[in-house]
Amino acid sequence: MATLGLKAGQTIMMMGTPGDGGGAIVRPTEKIKFVEDMTEAEAAQQAGATPAGLVNLGNTCYLNSTLQALRCIPELQDALGKHKHTSMSEIPQLDLTNQLKDLFKDMSETQGGMSPFTFLNALRMTFPQFGERSKKGPGYAQQDAEEAWSQIVSQLRQKLQIQGASEGEADKAASFVDKYMSGEFSSTLQCDDPAALEGGEQPTSAKEPFLKLNCHIDNQTAHLRDGLVNGLSEKIEKRSDALGRDVMYTKTSKISRLPKYLTVHFVRFFWKRDVQKKAKIMRKVTFPHELDAVEFCTDELKKALVPVRDKVREVRKDEEDVDRARKRRKKNPMLDGGELPEDTKEKGKKDDRKPTTSADGDVDMTETYKTDAEFEAEKDAALLAAKKELNSLIDPTLRNDDGANQSGIYELRAVVTHQGASADSGHYTAYVKKTGDKDPVTGKIGEEDGNWWWFNDDKVTEVTPDKIDALAGGGESHSALILLYKAIALPTAAGVME
């Protein structure tokens, strides 16, 4: 630059024409806007933006953590965005669903801390238990995050309606929760006393919806699976008409519908009479980032899920093999049909020639080689065919129910944690898995980096996946109370992931 005699801060004009094959140089169709010039709402929508936290209004961490976990459901945000307050008997300020809609909208337009004051008031008016005053001093009492979760979801189930619950029912309204968050049990109730069966009493069967699976914890529970198995079998005392007295019954449940979003509740709190409060079970219980729920299902549902689940695993293995082979070829081009040395490239280019016949009638055999591009194209084509086959294996009934899990496999998306020794004290936080950045032009979501957001009220921090593994419990430190799983995405009929 010094040889041109330019001075610091001098303005220069660059002139020239595009090279061969280059397009014409044109002015951008949209004005470039820098982050410094954006509004707070625009900045919050940019890639890499930190999501909004929620201010603690006095023992409201139980609510803040619950709301952050629910907010990670994109279908819920879409449905709330379309929700309209129509009740003539309820003012909008006390409509919990309407207040949740406004709160989530405000949170999407800032990277700072939001106050959930209006929503909290609506919650306390709808469910007075959350307006209980503290016995230890001024202000409100701490509450159980699981109770807040259950009450909010039950309210959404009643008030949040969506159109087109399934194919062929585009004009019918249905509950959002019933479609995306509600599963179904097929249960059998049988008397434990053999005399009841001898007296003519037969086991009874029934179907009933569920909004969460309970992980019951005893001195043998070490993993989530153990607790779920415990939760699917329970003892009930009721009157037997055959015996004319109260006896014990065993209720055994199997899942006949898996929702797209599965809530799992660790039953860590129990009522302790001597201290008159909900004490906490400290036992360590591990849980997976990916949950296979097929074993908890009815035989009929298993029949529909197993082929898809097994094919998912097969496709994943093929993708891993291709990825490993690609990495090996980068390190050593001679491996797996990689780039050839210069003296053999010409032979590789001639592999489309047909074998020739010599003068004595023998066939001349020639070596053939595949270039990197040919090898990649062959593997990609095989993977695409496998993904198309995977889509074709989806059960027709499940295909028409886009609010259900079609493979039986779930990925962990959010965790609500509790720190302390009882439900009515301590501190609640939430961990939510980061989503990929959204392309502003195409609207497509990019790949995830595997990290998580930790919502500690209005403090939001990015953490690595190993922090989630540390939430298994084992003491008064942060332990998982609620898990939110999402059904894994499956390829379309064209073999692509949406």
Distance CA 404, CA 183 (A): 8
**Active-site residue flag, 427:** yes
Phi-psi region at 447: left, alpha or beta (left = phi > 0; alpha = psi -120 to 50): beta
- DSSP bridge partners of 364: 356
Judge contact between 211 and 226, C-beta under 8 A: no
Active-site pick, 72, 215, 427, 478: 427
DSSP 140: B
Which residue in 81, 309, 104, 49 sits closest to 176, CA to CA? 81
Distance CA 128, CA 121 (A): 10
Q: Which two tokens stand for residue 470?
A: 């540390």
Phi-psi region at 48: left, alpha or beta (left = phi > 0; alpha = psi -120 to 50): left
**Active-site residue flag, 61:** yes
Q: Which two tokens stand for residue 106?
A: 């405000």
Distance CA 483, CA 286 (A): 12
Q: For the beta carbon of residue 388, count every other beta carbon within 10 angstroms.
A: 15
Which residue in 460, 402, 392 sits closest to 431, CA to CA? 460
- Rounded to 10°, the helix 299-331/372-392 angle is 170
- Run of H or E residues at 104: helix 96-107
Active-site pick, 61, 72, 191, 297: 61
What is the C-alpha R_g of the chain?
30
Distance CA 182, CA 251 (A): 20
Q: Which residues touch 279 (CB under 8 Å, ≥6 apart)?
A: 269, 270, 271, 272, 421, 422
Distance CA 294, CA 221 (A): 20
Which residue in 492, 458, 362, 475 sits closest to 68, CA to CA? 458
- DSSP bridge partners of 422: 279
Phi-psi region at 269: left, alpha or beta (left = phi > 0; alpha = psi -120 to 50): beta
Judge contact between 481 and 269, C-beta under 8 A: no
Judge contact between 162 and 79, C-beta under 8 A: yes
Catalytic residues: 61, 427
